[in-house]
Amino acid sequence: MKLILPDILLVLLAALVMGYDLYKGKVNLTSSTPFHLAWLGLAAIFVVLLRLPHDQTVVYPGGYQVTGASLLFKAVFVLSAFFTVLLSRSYFVPGGNKRGAMKHRSEFIVIILLCTCGMFTVVSATDLLTLFVGMELSAIPLYILSGYYKDDELSLEASTKYMMMGAVSTGLMLFGMSFLYGAAGSVTFEALAKACAVNPSEPLLRLGILFVLAAVGFKLTIFPFHMWAPDVYEGAPSPVTAFISVSSKAVAVAFLLILLYGPLAALHSSLQPIILILAAATMTVGNLGAMKQEKLRRFMAYSSIAQAGYIIMAMTGDAASARSSVIFYLFVYAAANYAIFFIMAAIGRDGEEQRSSLQGMGKNNPGLAAVLMLTAFSLAGIPPLAGFMGKFFLFAAAAKQGYYAMVIFAALNSTISLYYYLLLVKDAYIIQPAGRTKSLELDAVQLISLFLLTLAMLLAGILPSISGNILAVAG
């Protein structure tokens, strides 16, 4: 039972935070106890995940499967939830953000934890029904979180758009899965894999895959299903936006990996051209869109779209290369993304979260500007930072299959991305603000978080043992 221990602990942690809130009621709404329970519990679960054996595969009753790769995905989800909780701390304090203080901290944390439970379910599924339930449990809470600023028009707009797009995605996914069920006669991955191997040209299979790919395209912000992302990223509270950009993307990636290299493995070669087209279009649209963005959240939305293109390109490779490179890149991407959002939280305390707000940072906050520069270079893939190693593994997965033209195209796109990431550095170091600006204030939690994230970006790029261990387990 030890391999399922993190899942049990996560549910118990959510129950503990909810139980504390019910016990205290309205007596102490400003208590920081739920915050401390959450981050301590998530840190403990992450340590448990690291200590578990990653060379075993166990299937529990009900078809709940735990493998080394699923444990790594769960580590990504737990880290994302951990930094989301830390990031949210200042947003529940009066004066912590210009948009106003959020309320109901316990409920916010419980929703994050339950959303993470759904993500755990996805990576442990062995049938279509469990996979669908896990995806919905990981998605529906995000509609609530996007509208957590109940009196803010942008937040309500983000929640509405996200919910409408999510409803379309759910409908497409169920429609596609019904075709897959009709072709296989069962919802289990084993039966679906057998149907794909026996009759790969079955029209029901082709239709089912088409609709499922469209559905997961919404979750992963793949072109042409990406248009909701900029508005949702801009309107949702910053901790929620950060959580969506990392965890929601990671669970969609896991969903695709499970299907492409599991029940649909026999059709993988025929799906490679479609994956290449989607990857090329997605990274190009994301990079071109980011170039003209002045608002940091919309900037990060298009950056996230471009990153999705690089990630799905790796899925043209073999199972071991694709799985290992994608999981490693998710760790790298999470570290860089959360570092950016912690910097945005400091900016948003008194100012607008725009690129112009970065001006003068190199003079007033040299340490913060240095972190911003390292983060931008990591996302762009500049050595020796972790982002370079992550992109190298993604490109190598496609190159192993002989898709050298695609790798060159992705490298050119990465060069384009360097331009707009350098715009952040330019604003921070070169352009001086028109008037006087004061130094940004960071509390202890923000400083420690930025230190840990920056350290991760540096060590994962410099120490080969870190990437080697992740690649070995995932592959």
> Would you tell me the crossing angle of helices 68-88 and 464-474 to the nearest 10 degrees?
130
Give CA angle at 222 (217, 228), nearest 5°: 85
Mean pLDDT of 86-103: 78
Q: Say if CB 256 and CB 308 are below 8 A apart.
A: no
Lowest mean pLDDT, pick from 215-224, 363-372, 437-446: 437-446
Measured distance CA(392)–CA(398) in Å, rounded: 10
Q: Say if CB 91 and CB 101 are below 8 A apart.
A: yes
**Residue 64 above 80 pLDDT?**
yes
More confidently predicted of 45 and 101: 45
Q: pLDDT value at position 25? A: 62
**Cα dist. 49→60, 110, 368, 374 in Å?**
17, 20, 31, 28
Q: What is the pTM of this model?
A: 0.92
Measured distance CA(110)–CA(105) in Å, rounded: 9
Residue pLDDT, tens place only, 158-206: 888 888 888 888 899 998 999 988 888 888 888 888 888 888 788 888 8
Question: What is the domain range of residue 355?
Answer: 2-474
Coil, strand or helix at 64: strand
Helix or strand run (H / E) with residue 59: strand 58-60
Q: Say if CB 457 and CB 378 are below 8 A apart.
A: yes
Q: pLDDT value at position 54? A: 78
- Distance from CA of residue 151 to its chain's centroid? 27
Q: pLDDT value at position 76? A: 92
Query: What end-to-end distance do the CA atoms of the chain give, in Å?
Result: 24
**Residue 471 above 80 pLDDT?**
no
Coil, strand or helix at 366: helix
Classify residue 201 by burial, with Cβ atoms within 10 Å: 0-12, 13-18, 19+. exposed
Sign of the dihedral through C-alpha 77, 78, 80, 85: positive
Measured distance CA(422)–CA(428) in Å, rounded: 10
Instruction: Name the phi and psi angles at 115, rounded to 5.
Output: -60, -40
Residue pLDDT, tens place only, 291-323: 888 888 888 999 999 999 999 999 988 888 888
Which of 469, 450, 290, 467 lies closest to 394 in space, CA to CA? Answer: 467
Measured distance CA(86)–CA(72) in Å, rounded: 21
Let me know how many helices (H) and strands (E) the chain has, helices first.
20, 2
Measured distance CA(286)–CA(223) in Å, rounded: 9
Residue pLDDT, tens place only, 4-39: 888 899 999 999 988 887 777 654 556 778 888 888
Q: pLDDT value at position 115? A: 92
Confidence of residue 365 (pLDDT cuts 50, 70, 90): confident
Coil, strand or helix at 112: helix
Residue environment code for 391-429, b if the CB has 16+ CB neighbours within 10 A, otherwise e: bbbbbebbbebebeebbebbeebbebbbebbebbbebbb
Mean pLDDT of 401-412: 89
Which of 181, 254, 184 lies closest to 219 in space, CA to CA? Answer: 254
Q: pLDDT value at position 469? A: 67
Contacts of 261 (CB under 8 A, 6+ apart): 268, 319, 322, 323
Instruction: Name the phi and psi angles at 188, rounded to 5.
Output: -75, 150
| Half-sphere exposure for 445 (CA within 13 Å, toward CB) | 17
Cis preceding-peptide flag for 224 (omega within 30 of 0): yes
Measured distance CA(45)–CA(335) in Å, rounded: 18
Total domains in the fold of the chain: 1
Instruction: Name the phi and psi angles at 59, rounded to 5.
Output: -110, 120
Coil, strand or helix at 354: strand
Residue environment code for 46-65, b if the CB has 16+ CB neighbours within 10 A, otherwise e: bebbeebebeeeeeeeebbb
Q: pLDDT value at position 80? A: 93
Classify residue 203 by burial, with Cβ atoms within 10 Å: 0-12, 13-18, 19+. exposed
